[in-house]
Amino acid sequence: MSLEENKAIVRRLYEAYNEQNLALFDELYSPDYVNATLQIQGVESAKQFITKVYKGFPDWHETVEDIIAEGDKVWVHVKLTGTHTGEYRGLAPTGKKIAFSGMQIWRIANGKIVANESVFEFLDFYKQLGVIDYKGFPDEVK
């Protein structure tokens, strides 16, 4: 597949996330999909994970800020937003709006997503929810 075709597959995945269209996951993910960061294996596990996110943040949205493809990999800088109105990972709803970003690397084979690794700003995520109180680095470190 071409680099543009690989990027199109990943863009369709973000559209599926934003439309909460889990049926599209079956078309986009390979049956042996692996997410090394979240330790998820398989399409059903991916659906279960994102369903928990939707329950905690019904207005969950992922915006592709930048996308680069090389070989069988697609790198994405993504911004994630939502309002915490449902239980998420044991945390009662706070009603707080969150916005944080991350980098994701998707691997494509035979027109399907086979693997993913991610790095997100979870410190900022939990700070916005009020779970942690983080003021940043002391002045002497800056």
pLDDT reported for residue 139: 67
pLDDT 10s digits, 91-133: 999 999 999 999 999 999 999 999 999 999 888 899 999 988 8
Give the pLDDT band of residue 59 (cuts 50, 70, 90): very high
pLDDT reported for residue 32: 95
The residues pairing with 77 across neighbouring beta strands, listed in sequence order, are: 66, 103
CA angle 77, 75, 25 (to 5 degrees): 95
Q: What domains sit in the chain, N to C, each tagged with a CATH number?
A: 3-129 (3.10.450.50)
CB 35 within 8 A of CB 71: no
pLDDT 10s digits, 67-100: 999 999 999 999 999 999 999 999 999 999 999 9
Residues 19, 2: Cα–Cα separation, whole Å: 26
Task: Summarize the confidence of residues 21-43 as an average pLDDT.
Answer: 96
Residues 133, 42: Cα–Cα separation, whole Å: 36
